[in-house]
Copies of this chain bind each other. A is one copy, B any other.
């Protein structure tokens, strides 16, 4: 396990050749997606300080764009499977529309290396974007979501429980509540063992109302934990607008009340998200304690599955059959789709001269092919063996069958 020694080997997640400074492009970037507002302790003397994306290599920027596309095309491909392939059994809580948040945050983290040095991510019931951004093996994730024996978790967990500690993806969580406190617990361990690792909890606006919200933030502050709470405010929990359960316009205000550093960012702009995350990671690694990032964002599909969606088209519209008493106005969905994270990230890269439109389109085709072959591989994988359900209860052995008396 970890000890004090290796705690001091700080590895830089964005090492590699620095490209020229991109300060000249700042104005353009600001136009494409400015920070919505900032609260709490963040006070930048000028627009440059804290614009950490200025130092990113072309390679890294292109990787971020690629990650956004991977998430998007995983979603669209899976939605099409659900809508057109009667043999497909997987399901998802679609993340499309929110891609820039997972991508921007995870780009600021340490995602490979020994387990006792990488940063950890705790995800939610809507995990596919976080998982891809953290670097899980996509074909194995796709196989897991279709309950295959060779899936990332052997078919035991499926969508709401996908996990891959080898890249620091502690995993999805079907419950709303336990995860964020537990994530703070990992941060506690880092501090106790003198490691510079960081623990990140992704969470939705629905988590604000949970009692564990208080526990996580209060203790993170009291113990100054290297903990980053990324609240993706997509306005709805299930079918209810967040104003049903939260008296704040910016949920970050709730975190600021604890004396925690907060940022409210445009969750559609991966660069803004990256900047906020990088600042938070720097703070955490240097012993400066927790940060709360609220990303204003939106999901293009309904809460669960693909109702209202059409094969080959992005997004779901109209009445959600699960909603009954309330649902999202179609115009709201369309208004948000105008500020699409894929478009925004592509425009920034083109504007910054990192790629041109042709290369951008090429990359998108590469990603589509990659995802298509991931599904092809995954959907040809073997199904699980019934008796294996009795394994993995404890580290060793199996439990007895009881269903036959």
Is A258 located at the chain interface by the 8 A CB criterion?
Answer: yes
CA distance A244 to B222 in the complex (A): 8
Is A211 located at the chain interface by the 8 A CB criterion?
Answer: yes
Q: How far is the CB of A115 from chain B (nearest CB, A)?
A: 30
Specify which of B246, B247, B248, B259 is in contact with A247 (CB 8 Å cutoff): B259
Encoded as 1 (CB less than 8 Å from any B CB) or 0, chain A from 210 to 243 comes to: 0111110010011000000000000000000000
Q: How far is the CB of A185 from chain B (nearest CB, A)?
A: 15
Is A245 located at the chain interface by the 8 A CB criterion?
Answer: yes
Query: What is the interface of chain A mostly: helix, strand, loop, or mixed?
Result: helix
Is A254 located at the chain interface by the 8 A CB criterion?
Answer: yes
Is A253 located at the chain interface by the 8 A CB criterion?
Answer: yes
Q: Which residues of B contact A259 (CB under 8 A)?
A: 247-248
Is A149 located at the chain interface by the 8 A CB criterion?
Answer: no
Is A257 located at the chain interface by the 8 A CB criterion?
Answer: yes
CA distance A214 to B213 in the complex (A): 8
Q: Which residues of B contact A257 (CB under 8 A)?
A: 253-254, 256-257
Q: How far is the CB of A253 from chain B (nearest CB, A)?
A: 7
Q: How far is the CB of A179 from chain B (nearest CB, A)?
A: 14
| Residue with the highest number of chain B CB atoms closer than 10 Å, among A211, A253, A259 | A211
Q: How far is the CB of A54 from chain B (nearest CB, A)?
A: 34
Q: Which residues of B contact A254 (CB under 8 A)?
A: 257-258
Specify which of B214, B248, B256 is in contact with A214 (CB 8 Å cutoff): B214
CA distance A215 to B212 in the complex (A): 9
Is A209 located at the chain interface by the 8 A CB criterion?
Answer: yes
In the complex, chain A residues 252-268 whose Cβ is within 8 Å of any chain B Cβ: 253-254, 256-259
CA distance A335 to B23 in the complex (A): 60
Q: How far is the CB of A243 from chain B (nearest CB, A)?
A: 9
Instruction: Report the nearest B residue to A259, measured CB to CB.
Output: B247
Q: Which residues of B contact A218 (CB under 8 A)?
A: 209, 245-247
Q: Which residues of B contact A244 (CB under 8 A)?
A: 222
Instruction: Report the nearest B residue to A218, measured CB to CB.
Output: B209
CA distance A247 to B212 in the complex (A): 17
Q: Which residues of B contact A248 (CB under 8 A)?
A: 259
Report 13 cross-chain contacts, Cβ distance below 8 Å, ordered by A residue.
A209-B215, A209-B218, A213-B214, A218-B245, A218-B246, A221-B247, A222-B244, A222-B245, A222-B246, A222-B247, A247-B259, A253-B257, A257-B257
Partner-B contacts on A (CB < 8 A): 209, 211-215, 218, 221-222, 244-248, 253-254, 256-259
**With contacts A214-B214, A218-B245 known, what are 13 further pairs, Cβ within 8 A?**
A211-B212, A211-B214, A211-B215, A213-B214, A218-B247, A221-B247, A222-B246, A222-B247, A247-B258, A248-B259, A254-B257, A254-B258, A257-B257
